[in-house]
Structure formats: structure tokens, C-alpha cells
Structure 1
């Protein structure tokens, strides 16, 4: 087994080590929401701190009821009996891989843990590229061909995964692509796992959102959590909406042997969050606006530098492509190392997301630009224009300076090559 420390966690630890040593690093490598906990949630957690029993494996009834209401308000009527809660959506995803079994189709690129978890589960990933500008969903026609071929080779492919909106690209697949991937899943009898943890952070309501569960409810699992929309990553709470009692029971069997039940006090706070009281609805809306404003500003800096990148539509990620800029690097790992060592910018290389190592693509996370302290982060959340705040403006300028330096290196490299040798004409 070749699973190593998660690339995101490893990069975060390396950057923090460099910062402690006095290096100045622009941290664009870690996908943490970068905002404080809302006081109402802290109050609920404190009030529930005396709860120390294990509780039901599926999660507290209040939390399952609240999560069912959350999906029902989004047009997906949900039976609380088909909701399973876990200590984060990440363990739920791993539990689903074990419960479903077999190999899984993943979009390429895709979040670093999907393929690693598949390997831990003793299965194999089938990586299928995404359509242009629609990260998070493997190209439906390629999926059909790839799965049929894999099955002729004896592979047992049972599921496919989508991420809406996507990590690492920050884009959102359109409705026609979602409908087609659902059709393919039906044709091939595949379970769809739809990771929708960034759903509430789609930047513009006009963008629209279609879940596979809207069109293929009988075969779609949705996983979600509060780590992104309400910045509760460290609280470790996630929810899953199951399509059938059979899959629910299989997931509960796995859960009973791995995590037993989520932390009881956190479940009580999460149940309150999923009822979507006005103060938390407002917090999510303001967070969404902040994420969108800063992500678009970073996008514009890359565009000005001549780097190809899709405009972000949700969450706080971009996936710039430096291919074709004639940089003196041979892989995405080299590019990430060059940006960190020479320009003080921390990013993740595309190969960590299953991409071609020779493609010069990196994942950029913008959510740690809001400030180093709670006071600064709240100021960013409250600001009419967060881009005018001096610490955010300075970070954007640092990024522009690094990209300018990178381009200058490119120009210098190009000036040293392809120089024709001029000789005097022959005489006589």
C-alpha cells in the first residue's frame, strides 16, 4: 500500500514550519474555510458539553431530522431514517467505499483523499477526465467507455463520484452534464456518490445547482457537512443522505466498527445549524460573498499574468494551468516547489489530485487570505469590500509580484535559448 500523509495536510505542516522559521510564505495550499465559529454555535456546543454517551450509530435523532429538513428545503424530500451522521464527511466517504465495495470512477483531477481512501479500502480508482470548465464530474461518454472496458478486463466497477462544486478547480458542472452522468450511471448500474460539501458556497444564485439526486434519486448518495459553509472543520461532523435502507444498513455496520457515533455535543450544535436559523443563514451568505470576492480577485491576478484558469464558481479554489509558458520546470511538483522556494507562494501540485504529473497545473486555495486572527477574519467578513482591507490587498499584491517574478524568469530563460549564431558571409 502506497498511501502517505495527505498532500493538503503535509503542505500545511511544511508551510507552518517555514513560517515558524521566519520565512514569509503566502499560504494558498490549505482548504480550510478560514473564518471564526459563529457565537450561536459555540453556545450550543458549550450547553451540550455534558453529553458523554455514545448515542445511536446513525446519529442523534434531532440531527437526522434537521439534516432531512435541510435537504427537503432544497427540493429533495428526505426520510430522517435514511440519514447517517459521522465524524466529518471524510469518514462517511470512506465508509461508503467499504459499504458499496468494488472499484470507483473518479473525476480527474479530484480531491486528494478520494483515490487514497479507495486504495485503503482495497479497491482501485478509474480516473476519467472532466469536461472543459466542468470540474468535479467525469466526462459521461468517457465514463461509459472506461467502465465497459474495465469490466471486460475483469474489474468490478460499482460506483462513481462527483463533487459539486469542485475541489480542486472551483468550477460547477452544468445541468446537462449532471443529467447525462445520471443516465450513464443507470445504464451501467453504478451508485453515484455526490460530495456536496460546498453546495451552499456557490458564489452566485444565478448559477443554479442540480444534484444527481434530483434526477437519479434511487442510486445517489449525498455527503455533506459544516466544515466549509460554517467553518467547522475542526468539529468533525458530517451527514449522508442514503437512497435505500440496504445501503444505509451496510454503512451503519461499517460505522459501528470504525467510529461508533459522532461526538454527542457536536451533534447538538450541528442539529441547530441544520435547522438554518436566520443568524446562521446570514453567516453563510456573508461567507459565500467573501469567498467569491477573494477567489475572483485571485483569478484576475492569474489572468493578468497570462496563466490559463477557469473562473471560480463556488468554494475557494482555483486550478491555474501554467502549461505552455515555457517555464524551467518539468512537472507540477517542480512548479509547486519553485513557487514556494523562489517566490514564497505555497500551492499544491496537480499530480496530488490525480492529474498528469507533466501538466503544469496547481491547486490554489484562497480562504487563508482573510487574516491571521479572529479579529481580522471577522473584519473581512463584515467589510463591504474585503479587497480594500490592507492585509488582503497586500496578499494579492504579493501574489502578483510572485507571478511577475515567475514570468520574468520565463522571459530570461527564453532569451538564453533559440539565439541564432550570426557569422560573416563566406568570401571568395
Structure 2
């Protein structure tokens, strides 16, 4: 049986459209029910974990805790050994209800407002700007779900990737968050995600008052749940009267920056479909895979081809193709009667919430979805730059004793500083929020903590965004697209040196605190 991150304790391991059936029905293929098993709540008893506001947790088992972090021992970051449970806590269960982290300490702002998707740090290609400006003078309101030209462009985008796409089964919205919220509202029921997951997923379910459950990922990658843990979570939730209906996955993941192997995606999709779940496959980062130093770059799997009647594909264009503050996203629903009904229900939610894409942004979205040469060249060049920086940052982390999976997509990577816990504690850093503050100061760049991505506040994990290593000068950032090696640019060298110096200092402190034999 494959180990999950919560079970992986080997330090030498190399990181390498339909509602669910009756809630009381056991998941197909799930382990046999055991009356003696613990409940699915995943909230272990013991000493409370401190909330960001300084108040202890104390919610009943099995319910989300407003204003507190998820209770439980820190889970190891993707591909890393699991941390030991905190004193007074029990071992984790396969799936835990995600607690609403609520409001951070004064000065940090509400957690639900950030962090944003990792940006490219590069200028907007001229063709995208021209497309937006050409539509800026119109007063005509865009249709709910996107106009015909935008929907045809989205269909062409998917068809070029080998997927059948019908414009009448596609919907567009002003960003991935409103679109995911509409899908969750249309489906109803509880929501499951991998742990960790993108910061913008869980708030959508919370806005609807839905219970969300986070499930451990395999040790090899992020983005998809371990299939056995998923089935066990579904079984327990239904045994307690819950109603799990939706699983959200990402074949190219935020925050870990990994691409899930096709066989793991297939196992997770097969388990979810057998359990009667609908699946949203977030493929925002599909087009940002890093060029491989040898062989072919990783090709993300296609969940919709594995369970075509149960998978809705979502792409937030502000990830790979548009600037981060130009909100536009598209979703492709199953080409079945059930998929059509879900599509129509999503349009109803979008209409009720007034979620229309502004005309200039819709025009820009249509432009990038047709993939002119300028856009594809920029996407390729950007992936090369961010892939080089991500690999260098990962090497810096590894040499300092920090745990992280090698990033293969996106503009980010996920670091677990658990091995440096003693050194950090000596500096007053004992949780993810304090680590976010401390590293942000040390590195001179944002370092959002793992608690923002569904991990426990007690974990010492952060996401590092590669765009921050390009500096702040737009002119120098643009040069990164054309230089032979962006790592040779002065501002990139300075940022990498600052990162290495900060982490090496922590590593040295940790070694001084190691017990002598």
C-alpha cells in the first residue's frame, strides 16, 4: 500500500457531473466498515493548537472551526517525512475537516484574502494589451458564462490538447474562485481536497457553509489525494451522516509545484468516481511545465479522459496566460445530460452573483485562448525562466537541510523547514504564521505559510514564488526572457545568495543545538 505524506517517516526517501449517491451509502471500493473505527472528524483530542489570534481551539468534533487552524500534528510537506505529533495530540486520520483559519493577527489581514496566484513577474505581451484596449470602449455587457467568441476560443484551446469540447458545455467567469464557487453551489454537499491545496479553493466552500475535508497526498507529489485515504475519508464522513459530493484536484499543483504522475491521477480519479464524487480538475498550471534538463518535460495527466462523465475541467487564465489581476477562467463540463444540467446550474449561480467578465478582460482571454505565436512563445520562455530559478532555489533549500519536492511546473515551490525547528524556535518562530513573518523579513520577499494552503498552523512550511527572485525592476525582469541563463543575472544572483545565507544561518544554528554523543 502506497505511503502518504502522513505515513512517510523515512528521512532518506528521495522526493522524487453528478451528485453523489445516497449519503449513507458506503463508497464503492472503500474499505469495509468497522464499527470500532474512530469518527471521520480528524480532530484529535489533546492540547489545543494556538490560533493566529492567540485563542485556543475548542470546537466540537467533526465541524469546521471558525477562526482557528486545523487541529492536529504537522503533516510533512510534499515528499518529506512527517513531523511527530505535538505533545498531547494524537496521530492524524486520513481526512480531516478543514478549519476556517479566520482573521490573522492585526497587520496580516484576513487569511481568506490571500495569497494570490504566483505571478510571472514579467510584462504583459503587446498583443494581449491591444486586445483589451480594443474592447475597452464598449458598454455592452458580456453574457453570463461568456460570449460565443470566447467560448469558441476556449473549445479550440482544449481541442488542440486532444480533448473534445463543445461551446455549449463551457462556461467563463471572472476568475477561478467564482467559477469553483458556482460549481460547488450547483452540486451541493461536502467538498474534499488534497492537503495542501491552493489557497483559493477552501474559502469557496466556506462561503457556502459547506464542510470541507482535506486528504493527505501521496509522497511523490501534491495535487491529488492518496486514493486509499480518500476512500476511507468518504466512508467515515458518510458513516457520520455527511454528504461528500465534490473532489477538487490539480494535475499540476499549487503550492508544491509538482506534476502528479498519470498512474497516481488515474488511481485517485478511479477511487473518486467509484465513491460517487464529481471531480473538478484544476488545470491552471498545465501549460507551465518546466523544460526538463534531460528527456521530455512532464506531461500532466487528463482526468477528464479517465472519467468523462464525472470530471469538470477548470483553467484560471490568470495563472499561466493572463496577468494575475485580470480575472478570467473557463470550465469545461461533461458532454452528457448530467454535464449539461450542471453547466446550466452553474450559469444560474453566476447570474445570481453577477459574475460576468469585463469586456476588456474577456477580449484578452479570447486572444490568449486562440494561442497566437506571441502568446505561445511567451508561455514557453516564461516556463524556462521560472523552471531554472525554481531548480536553483530547490538546490539551495536541499543544501540547507530543508525538505521540498523538486518543482516541475508553475512559478513556486513548497518548503518544509521542520528539520530546522529547534533553530527557528530559538528565534521565537514556532508556527507557520511566525515563519511567514520571519522568512519574509530574512529573504525580502513574500513567503506565505503552509496554514494558508490547508496545512496545520503548527507546521513549518512556506511557499516560495520564483518571480520574487527576478527583482523589482521591470526592465531587468524582461531581460530574463532573452538571456542565455537567468541565474547569471545580478538581481537573481543576489536573491539566491540572500536565500542561501539566511537558510545556512538557520542550518548552522540547528547543528549547534544537536545533542552531542
Q: With the length of structure 2 as denominator, give the TM-score of the two structures.
A: 0.74
**Residue of 283, 304, 318 corresponding to 1:213:** 304
Distance 1:46-1:70 versus aligned 2 partners, 3 A rule:
same
Instruction: Kindly provide the CA deviation profile for residues 241-293 of structure 1, in whole angstroms up to 9, marking residues without a partner as x.
Output: 11111010110000001134211122122112111111111111101111111
CA contact (8 A) 1:321 1:361 kept: yes
For residues 147-198 of structure 1, what are the alpha-carbon distances to aligned partners after superposition, in whole Å with 9 as ceiling and x for unaligned?
0110010001001010121111111111111111121122111100111110
Q: Distance in 2 between matches of 1:292 and 1:12?
A: 31
Q: Residues 341 and 413 from structure 1, CA distance in 2 versus in 1: closer, same or farther, beyond 3 angstroms?
A: farther
**What is the deviation of 1:231?**
4.0
Q: Distance in 2 between matches of 1:67 and 1:164?
A: 19
Asked if 1:51 corresponds to 2:138, the answer is: yes
Q: Are 2:500 and 1:400 equivalent residues in the alignment?
A: yes
- 1:96, CA displacement in angstroms? 1.2
Query: Does structure 1 residue 272 correspond to structure 2 residue 367?
Result: yes
- Take 1:226 and 1:249, find their aligned partners in 2: how far apart are those partners? 22
Match of 2:381 among 286, 290, 293: 286
Is structure 2 residue 273 aligned with structure 1 residue 186? yes
Q: Whole-Å Cα distance in 2 between the matches of residues 139 and 392 of structure 1?
A: 36
Determine the structure 1 residue equivalent to 2:434.
334
- For 1:25, the equivalent position in structure 2 comes to none
Offset at residue 34 of structure 1 (A): 1.4
From 153, 161, 177, give the equivalent of 1:74: 161
Q: Which secondary structure does the structure 1 equivalent of 2:318 belong to? A: coil
Q: 1:261 to 1:377 in 2, by over 3 A?
A: same
Alignment of 1:31-110 (within 5 A): 31-110=118-197
Q: Which has the larger helix fraction?
A: 1
Distance 1:58 1:36, change over 3 A: same
Question: Cα distance, 1:60 vs. partner?
Answer: 1.1
8 Å contact 2:119–2:323 — kept in the other structure?
no
- Displacement of 1:330 in angstroms is 3.0
Is 1:380 the counterpart of 2:471? The answer is no
Matches of 1:387 and 1:380 in 2, distance apart? 9
Match of 1:409 in 2: 509
Equivalent of 2:403, from 291, 295, 308? 308
Question: Cα gap change, 1:153/1:221 in structure 2, threshold over 3 Å: closer, same or farther?
Answer: same
Q: Secondary structure at the match of 2:418?
A: coil
Pairs aligned (count): 402
1:224 matched residue in structure 2 = 315
> Is the 8 Å Cα contact of residues 88 and 225 (structure 1) preserved in structure 2?
yes
Q: Deviations over 1:210-231 (max 9, x none)?
A: 1211211111111113212234
Q: Aligned partners of 2:341 and 2:299: how far apart in 1?
A: 32
Alignment counterpart, residue 263 of structure 2, candidates 160, 176, 180: 176
Distance 1:64 1:345, change over 3 A: closer
Displacement of 1:374 in angstroms is: 2.3
From 347, 353, 367, the counterpart of 2:447: 347
- Which moved further from structure 2: 354-363 or 382-391? 354-363
| Structure 2 unaligned blocks of 5 or more | 1-65, 68-99
Check 1:63–1:149 CA distance in 2 against 1; reply closer, same or farther (3 A cut): same
2:200 is paired with a residue whose SS is helix
120 and 69 in structure 1: CA distance in 2 versus 1, 3 angstrom threshold: same
User: In the alignment, is the contact (CA less than 8 A) between 1:229 and 1:287 conserved in 2?
Assistant: no
Aligned match of 1:426: none
Aligned CA distance change for structure 1 residues 363 and 11 (closer, same or farther; 3 Å)? farther
Q: What is the SS of the residue equivalent to 2:398?
A: helix
Choose 320-329 or 184-193, whichever is displaced more: 320-329
TM-score, normalising length: structure 1: 0.88
Note the 1:123-272 alignment, pairs <5 A. 123-204=210-291, 205-243=296-334, 244-272=339-367
3-state DSSP of counterpart to 1:126 = strand
Q: Distance in 2 between matches of 1:168 and 1:388?
A: 26
Q: C-alpha distance in 2, partners of 1:308/1:269?
A: 39
Judge conservation of contact 2:255–2:453 (CA < 8 Å) in 1: yes
Distance in 1 between residues matched to 2:152 and 2:354, nearest whole Å:
21
Unaligned 5+ segments in structure 1 are 15-27, 421-428
| Whole-angstrom CA distance in 2 between matches of 1:30 and 1:221 | 21
Could you say if the C-alpha distance between residues 361 and 114 of structure 1 is closer, same or farther in structure 2, counting changes exceeding 3 Å?
Answer: same
